[in-house]
Structure 1
């Protein structure tokens, strides 16, 4: 069994907007310092139970719980699924739960309304259940404190992106292509400046895999568009693309965030209207929507970007990466893997990092990113 210093080993868990699986990442920090280097020890993606996933996706795109009893039951079911994912990762790698200092669990977002009259965000997956099942102290519910402080509660990982992927000599952007796409902007800095000396910014840019997966499932029965083949078989409908880009949310300045409750199939259907379109043409247009909204956002906020480093599920869609690159002439678009960071587990690593921040009494948010009134210690601690 591998031996680790328990103070330096953390485990991150997340199921993103796409709810396409539970990502678990075991992360080792070089030491106990605030800016310690971190590395992925092991990662694993666990599938959702099909019926539970379908219910979570429906809730995430605006569906209602039938009762408080259902909400409570889902909270516990998600927690058990997360605990199973954590334990499976540890078992596969021969690591005892006692070797892990803490779990950082994002949970599953079922509603995100940071701009409502009474702002809120809801991620379910009871941290007490995870702590009880695993025997590991669990930090959960990271986003709500930032929202309480006037922020969007998202994105929460630009500080980690800056630590892992910035370079003083060039302007970079980290592009997470999950259910929703978001950018972290890492501007060029002068010689000697560190990543955190720069004005790191980040925000959501709009839909990515959430709409692509939903449309693909409806018309092909496949949960996602493997290699972008379905989109590649169609043609972009310029009129439909213009109608989709006319959504007022795209014109909002950062800080901004969104989710399935904003961009879902009903939103798409309202813009399709009664015009008959081939399903593959709609898929091609949805892919182009992601590429266009990312490129437009980057040109508006950091036009001197030299390099875009992509992560998240969308990094495996070569058609999507190609269209993003085509809309960003002169900008290198490549996977974070090129820099030693596994694109499938960046987000899960981030929640391991956030758990470490919380236990150390350090802020986990960047107010310039989320819009919060100031730095805040995030998450609720559920002791083992």
Structure 2
């Protein structure tokens, strides 16, 4: 008998919704179906606007966006099930990450805020929905992020070797899998700064294959200025977001320079992502024998090339292990929903710095038939 869950993910790249239908029966994890639903341009802009650090927002705008995203998550779920020809009644639960609009666990009253109303998801689909995964970990002293290392351990750990899993979304994070307690943390920018710079100068959502970055030359002085940030010197556990590594952060760094070509800045931003990921692996996982890449960054040929140059080891997509790099996070949040419904912890204290393992998320019951 199938044990079906759905994972919904919208990450820091703010490009759209990943919806994965996952079967956990017989002790295995099998992706049954997947649907990607892109955000309209104006909605992406609204999310970016509401996510800016230290900018006033209207509660009306916040509430409207929360409701609209909840509806879109529900629609993505129903489209996924329609394509797979599976009834809603067959699904145990949905795990919805939501859309992060602010992540600040390091403040005196730390918090992490995701929107995409789970009440609407549960009501429109009739399926029990688990959401708001991060704040319970923060309540016990954790960073609330990253949460995917627990799933990475469950699916990618290999007792015969040290592996590092790198997820490159808007922000990049790593998971170190060896014979010690799992370490995982955000290394810094992933695709986010490159995407924003490309949007400003090429009027494209992202730098396809990293071709624009490859056309420029790296600027060592600018690279040094970008890497001269306190975040990179922090020791784990640590996490960050696009409210920190933002367009304002980049513009402040660029204000120290004159007459830089846009393509050279893009090349340097690509190098920044590669260097900070590689530096973290060399410092915290020097015995890594294999690095597996997931997230949108796996499709950036220039970034992948720079990582291989930096690391001098096999660097490959998680597709080599049977999971498409675009599917990993959606599957992870299906897995986390299953952990919650089974009253099992979803966090790893060695990753987030939490005082204790906890069951994550709030449960929003589906319709009673």
Shift of 1:66: 2.8
Deviation at 1:59, TM superposition (A): 2.4
1:264-317 Cα distance to aligned partner (Å, 9 max, x none): 111111111141210000000000000000011111101111100000001001
Distance in 2 (CA, whole Å) between partners of 1:59 and 1:170 is: 43
Return the match for 1:336 from 318, 337, 341: 318
* CA–CA distance in structure 2, aligned partners of residues 152 and 159 of structure 1: 14
Q: CA deviation at 1:60?
A: 2.5
- Which residue in the other structure is 1:226 paired with? 208
Is residue 291 of structure 2 the alignment partner of residue 308 of structure 1? yes
Task: Report matched runs for 1:88-127 at 5 Å.
Answer: 88-127=79-118
Decide whether the 8 Å contact of 2:168 with 2:297 is kept in 1.
yes
1:150 to 141, 144, 168: 141
Number of equivalent positions? 365
SS state at 1:327 partner: helix
Aligned pair partner of 1:369 in 351, 360, 364: 351
Aligned to 1:109, the other structure's residue is in SS state: strand
| Secondary structure of 2:311's aligned partner | coil
| Match in the other structure for 2:161 | 170
- Residue 116 of structure 1, CA deviation: 0.7
**Native 8 Å contact 1:180 1:210 kept in 2:** yes
Distance 2:18 2:58 in 1: 29
Counterpart of 1:260 in 2: which secondary structure?
coil
**For residues 136-165 of structure 1, what are the alpha-carbon distances to aligned partners after superposition, in whole Å with 9 as ceiling and x for unaligned?**
000000000001111010111112111211
Query: Matched residues in 2 for 1:291 and 1:168: separation?
Result: 27
The equivalent of 1:47 in structure 2 is 38
1:56 is paired with a residue of what secondary structure? Answer: helix
For residues 249 and 206 of structure 2, what CA distance do their matches in structure 1 show?
19
1:194 corresponds to which residue?
A: none
| 1:71 pairs with 2:67 | no
Kindly indicate whether the alpha-carbon contact (under 8 Å) linking 2:163 and 2:290 is maintained by their aligned counterparts in 1: yes
Residue 279 of structure 2 aligns with which residue? 296
**1:19 lines up with 2:14 in the alignment:** yes
1:212 maps to 194
Cα distance in 2, alignment partners of residues 44 and 150 from structure 1: 35
Q: Is 1:269–2:251 an aligned residue pair?
A: yes
Name stretches of at least 5 consecutive residues in structure 2 with no aligned partner: none
The gaps in structure 1 that reach 5 residues or longer are 190-197
> 1:65·1:71 contact (CA, 8 Å) conserved in 2?
no
Deviation at 1:37, TM superposition (A): 2.1
Q: Call closer, same or farther: CA 1:244–1:235 in 2, change over 3 Å.
A: same
- Residues 79-94 of structure 1 aligned to structure 2 (within 5 Å): 79-94=70-85
Give the Cα separation in 2 of the matches to 1:163 and 1:16: 21
* CA contact 1:61–1:263 (8 Å) conserved in 2: no
- The offset of 1:65, in angstroms, is 5.2
What residue in structure 2 maps to residue 358 of structure 1? 340
The whole-number CA distance in structure 1 between the counterparts of 2:49 and 2:85 is 36
Where 2:35 maps in the other structure, the secondary structure is: strand
Q: How far apart are the structure 1 equivalents of 2:302 and 2:135?
A: 35
Distance 2:328 2:321 in 1: 12
* Residue 303 of structure 2 is aligned to residue 320 of structure 1: yes
CA offset digits 1:145-197 (Å, max 9, x no partner): 0011110101111121112111111110000011100000001x4xxxxxxxx
State the partner residue of 1:133. 124
| 1:199 alignment partner, one of 181, 200, 221 | 181
Contact 2:168–2:295 (8 Å) recurs in 1: yes
Measure the CA separation in 2 of the matches of 1:305 and 1:131. Answer: 42
What TM-score do you get using the length of structure 2 for normalisation? 0.97
How far apart are 1:118 and its partner, in Å?
Answer: 1.1
1:22-33 alignment to 2 at 5 Å?
Answer: 22-31=17-26
Please say if residues 349 and 356 of structure 2, whose CA atoms lie closer than 8 Å, have aligned partners that are also in contact: yes
